[in-house]
Amino acid sequence: MKGIDISSYQQNVDFNQVKNNGVEIVILKASEGKTWQDPTFKDKYNNAKAAGLKVGAYHFLRGNAPQDEASNFLNMIEGLSLDCKLIIDAEVDLGGIETTSNQVKAVKDILVSKGYDVALYSGEYFYNTNLNNSVKDIPLWVAKYSNNKPNVSSYIGWQYSDVGNVPGINGYVDINEFLEGILLTNNCSNGTCNITTPTKETWEFYISGDLVKRLQHELNIQYGFKLDEDGYLGDKSLNALESVAIKHDAKGNITRIIQERLLQLGYKLPRYGADSDFGDETANALYKFQLDRKLIPDMVAGINTFKELFRK
């Protein structure tokens, strides 16, 4: 889906022209830091919605108290019917990798605690060098001004140009290609709105087939999800895995699937093989796998580990 993002720099936007020229999504800057609020935000929101565009909002992150940053953002979007995840824009070093990552995570946690679904915006280089694994599970909208796809593990949006021309907007504008993962299931201003439609673009990052189909079946049986058991690891399956953590002493078919995938990838379980029992052998194999994939080596199969296990 073609999308643009705009702020107070873009004045007098004709959103009907924008819509008529193939744009489906517009992401608006709402706020920055603990006090700044875009004075054009509400008018742009109303006009974009009236034109039939899908609308989202982003907050430019600074180094203030996380509650102040989150409150500034929430005050701007209160009562609105947004179509997209709330976006945290992280592109400024706030005092090193750990400090910057902690700020992102803290603001994200506050927004999630209020019932909102959240995504992260960042540039490819900044994301890879200035943020740690504590925020790499947040769905990513990434900026890389190139014809080459971003060098990140996965993304739900790619800002590929900052010098785009779109009828209805004076001057240059950022151009994006968004996947379905940027959207909420419903037009809602709060309440957790999980993605329910897997997309081919998402599937292409991951293996498909019987092993994925068995994983989907076990998620349905053990956790009560209603996944299509189609063998494709799309958005809905990935969202389901966010609530799963398989660790030492776990038993059952999901453990067996993890063991089988580790064996496929060349990690040895020399004593028992895929026996459905998460013992020391499996923990050691998973530890080596996590180190190799630059994950936190906690020997727990959570969302980031599942993504790497099933990545092509």
- The token pair that represents 126 in the structure block: 């900044």
Give me the pLDDT at residue 196, please: 34
Q: What is the pTM of this model?
A: 0.61
Give yes or no for a contact between 22 and 52, defined as CB atoms under 8 angstroms apart: no
Catalytic site residue 5? yes
Catalytic residue among 14, 24, 68, 91: 91
Pinpoint the alpha helices (H) of 197-309: 200-203, 210-223, 235-241, 253-264, 280-292, 303-309
Q: Which amino acid is at 169?
A: I
Beta strands (DSSP E) in the chain are 2-6, 25-32, 36-37, 54-60, 86-89, 118-123, 140-143, 157-164, 173-178
Give me the pLDDT at residue 203, please: 54
Catalytic site residue 235? no
Q: What whole-number distance in Å separates Cα of residue 37 and Cα of residue 226?
A: 40
Task: Give me the residues of the chain with pLDDT under 70, please.
Answer: 185-204, 270
Domains of the chain with CATH codes: 2-182 (3.20.20.80), 200-309 (1.10.101.10)
